[in-house]
Amino acid sequence: VAICGRAAHKLGVHDFGGIVWDEVAGFLVTMLGVSLSWQSLLAGFALFRLFDILKPWPIKWLDRQVDGGLGIMLDDVAAGGVACLILHYWF
């Protein structure tokens, strides 16, 4: 959260695409408790990216309503949480 907040402040850009700590955190949340295999990693990555890009509710709401480093991280962690739930159903 602190890294993303400082980077946004220094660069003057909210959620600058070159800072990927939020994506790393979101993918780690995606894979929490999932049996690791190439299939689960591929499915987890695809699901996380899908939810991160499309930002369905409540992910989009979090992205728009929460500012600073927490807001930058929270939408990715939420996308990871949704992807994780789906993975636990599949694997």
Cis preceding-peptide flag for 56 (omega within 30 of 0): no
What is the C-alpha separation between 83 and 69, in angstroms, rounded?
22
Indicate yes or no: pTM above 0.85. Answer: yes
Query: Does 16 score more than 80 pLDDT?
Result: no
Does residue 28 contact residue 80 with C-beta atoms inside 8 Å? yes
What is the C-alpha separation between 71 and 64, in angstroms, rounded?
8
Query: Does 28 score more than 90 pLDDT?
Result: yes
Q: How far is CA 22 from the centre of its chain?
A: 6
In this prediction, residues 42-68 reach a mean pLDDT of 93
